[in-house]
Amino acid sequence: MTLIKKKIKIYCSSFLPPKNISWSNFEKISFSNYGELESITDSSAKEEISILLIFFQDFFENIDKNKKIDFKINHLLKLINKRLRFNKNPLILLHSFWSSENVIRKIKFNNEAEINKKKFQKEIKKNFIHKNFFCIDFDNELANEGFFKTFDNRNWYFAHCRLSSLGLDVLSATIYKTIKSITQPTKKVLVLDCDNTLWGGVIGEDGIRNIKLGQDGLGKAYQDFQKSIKRLQEKGVILALNSKNNEKDVFEVLDKHPEMIIKKKDIISFKINWQDKSKNLIEISNELNLGLDSFVFWDDNPIERDKVKRKLPKVQVIDVVNNVYDWPDNLYSLDEFAKSEITKEDLKKTIQYKSRAKFVEEKKKSNDDNEYLKSIKLRPKIHYLDKFNLSRAEQLCNKTNQFNLRSIRYKSSEILNINKKKDNIIFLISLKDIYGDHGLVGLVIIKKVNQEIAFLDNLAMSCRILGRNLESWVLKKSLEECKKKGFKYLVSEYLPTIRNKMVENFTKENNFLQISKDKLLSKSFVKNKKNIRYAIVNKTKIPNLNAYR
């Protein structure tokens, strides 16, 4: 596991041992005194990711008989609401209502814990629709290991800790994967083998009639595995095939086998040949213009998996278990594809990347790029920030890596605060052409420095629309927006990362000037003085715009 370096503090209704080995994956973790939940609203908590862990057994045992449980729940809801109002950092609530109960008693009488759980979850859903709030039913995580293994009465009576060592491990893993999904980009591409992966058997030897797929038994397990693949694809995961087969045989199964869930139209890239699979993965990466660290590779063959691990360490290779019956659940529960929020653009990923593949193919056939771009009827449009596109703005800011000038990451609350300041400029860019509607594909954030100078704080664009010179059009529009605000200069900065090498000379190629020793250089708003340039708003000419006139 990668070490989580964010500052984290856990607030719990009972005790958690601070020095337990379970917390070894967190560099900066601290704990409030158990039961002191009110401190979650202290001003000192503003720089942290807050974890609020509630065992409702603690509430039931300590409640005054004259007061209903509703009083405790309402007090907790007020604390959460107050924390969310003053602190825009993530708040992760984990709650457990489990208590040992006789099964017969559950049949005959209303279960108090279940009633209170439904009441609590209803209030949470109704009152706390905040982008920085994440609510987890911790009982679901504990149940995977077993309640009697994850709770420990001995720990409770000796240390007021509800959980066993295993329970603490489950808690740590739950917090870890939740924070990771909030703060780090998810994987984008699932690359699959075919034989003994999408179906049982070898199509080249067994033929289409004899492969195991559908009906019952092992064939049903393969079909359910495909259903899990389809569910991920419908949530925005891109699918590719990387298989040592004859292409004709695989296409026959995709087109004609009645039990196939995954169809040819669902696949973005086909690498069905006899060459090394790592080479195929590199080719898919180049075709999609996505980094290899966006890829997950699923292959039943351990030798093929080991080769990819050694040759392409950035690719996430899944250690596939031998039991195919476990595959459907294993795939769909992968943390690598888990998203806390899905945008409209995510749901259109397959269509959009198919459009890109067609665009790249047609462009290669053309002898004149400018004439070709004119022929595809490019129609870009600016969209100013509003509540409907805020989620997409946050996604572009945080998950775009290659065409990202500074790779500065902002949460939606921070983007809103920037937008509130007078003379700052934020807009998104959409694009349509003969290949379809590509959706919102770019984000620009420009900050006012003083009356004359504006700073290009953020310019990020989806790589799937590159090759159309849209980035130059965006730069031209940025200068036009600066002109409206009365700025004389637009300053740009390139902050290098492992993945954004492609934009190193972007502003230079668009006629931004090198800054020498003058007043612009001394400003504190830049981080890397070697890589800053500027444009004169009324004079700088942006090239490569013929297709947009």
The tens digit of pLDDT for each residue in 402-422 reads 899 999 999 888 999 999 999
Q: Is residue 380 part of a domain?
A: yes
Rounded CA separation 343/384 (Å): 17
Q: Among 154, 183, 212, give the residue marking a domain's end.
A: 183
Same domain, 302 and 282: yes
Rounded CA separation 443/531 (Å): 21
Which CATH number belongs to the domain containing residue 283 in this structure? 3.40.50.1000
Q: Is residue 245 part of a domain?
A: yes
Same domain, 142 and 291: no
Q: Among 337, 358, 383, give the residue marking a domain's end.
A: 337
- pTM of this prediction exceeds 0.85: no
Does the pLDDT of residue 357 top 90, yes or no?
Answer: no
What integer pLDDT is reported at residue 530 of this predicted model? 76
Q: Write 330-337 long-range contacts (CB < 8 A, 24+).
A: 331/225, 331/228, 331/229, 331/232, 331/298, 332/228, 332/231, 332/232, 334/296, 335/177, 335/180, 335/181, 336/186, 336/187, 336/296, 337/186, 337/187, 337/190, 337/232, 337/235, 337/237, 337/296
Same domain, 222 and 162: no
What integer pLDDT is reported at residue 251 of this predicted model? 95
Q: Is residue 357 part of a domain?
A: no
Same domain, 392 and 532: yes
Rounded CA separation 420/453 (Å): 18
Same domain, 169 and 196: no
Same domain, 435 and 476: yes
- Residue 464: name the closest of 287, 338, 270, 279 by CA: 287
When the pLDDT of each residue in the chain is averaged and rounded to a whole number, the result is 88
Same domain, 475 and 542: yes
Neighbours of 265 (CB within 10 A): 9
Number of domains making up the chain: 3
What integer pLDDT is reported at residue 66 of this predicted model? 47
Range of the domain at 41: 4-183
In this predicted model, what pLDDT tens digit does every residue of 512-547 receive, in sequence order? Answer: 998 865 555 555 667 777 788 999 999 999 999 999
Q: Which residue has the higher pLDDT, 80 or 348?
A: 80
